[in-house]
């Protein structure tokens, strides 16, 4: 006979937190490059190429950030409002770094609580 599956609330997040952290940092750095390098180059130096390249790269990376966030949010049982705020953090310079710290602390506290229950 098979054992019953552990509910999502009791399973560790595993690889999901490191994946989220990587994409949070990459998205944050990409957005900083876009806002503080590419946009000034476009509007003050008249060169739209950095904006086109970095903007497109940031867009693709932000989509990966969305997926990584949603995968983590499902396993870590984030409230919909918290998950939405974390997703929006990837659109505001510096906020993805702040959100990453808050998410990491929240998930690590959850993991410690799960270990103490076991």
Q: Is 28 exposed, middle or buried (0-12, 13-18, 19+ CB in 10 A)?
A: buried
Q: Is residue 73 part of a domain?
A: yes
Q: What domain count does the chain have?
A: 1
Judge whether 5 lies within some domain. Answer: no
H or E element at residue 30: helix 16-33
Q: Which domain holds residue 29?
A: 14-117
The answer to whether residue 7 sits within a structural domain is no
Residue 3 lies in a domain: no
Query: Of 9, 16, 5, 18, whose CA–CA distance to 71 is shortest?
Result: 16
Q: Please indicate, yes or no, if residue 74 is contained in any of the structural domains.
A: yes
pLDDT tens for each residue of 10-24: 788 999 999 999 999
Helix axes 95-117, 49-76, angle to 10 degrees: 20
d(CA 31, CA 99): 14
**Per the domain annotation, does 45 fall within a domain?**
yes
Q: What is the reported pTM?
A: 0.86
User: Could you read off the pLDDT of 53-85 as tens digits, one per residue?
Assistant: 999 999 999 999 999 999 999 999 999 999 999
Flag whether 22 is in a domain. Answer: yes
Residue 9 included in any domain: no
């Amino acid at each position: 006979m098979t054992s019953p599956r552990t509910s999502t609330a009791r399973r560790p997040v595993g690889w999901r937190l490191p994946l989220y952290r990587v994409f949070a940092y990459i998205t944050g750095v990409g957005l900083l490059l876009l806002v503080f390098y590419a946009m000034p180059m476009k509007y003050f130096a008249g060169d739209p190429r950095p904006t086109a390249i970095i903007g497109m790269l940031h867009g693709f990376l932000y989509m990966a950030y969305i997926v990584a966030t949603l995968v983590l949010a499902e396993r870590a049982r984030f409230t919909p409002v918290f998950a939405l705020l974390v997703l929006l953090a990837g659109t505001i310079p510096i906020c993805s770094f702040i959100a990453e710290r808050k998410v990491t602390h929240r998930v690590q506290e959850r993991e410690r609580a799960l270990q103490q229950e076991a």
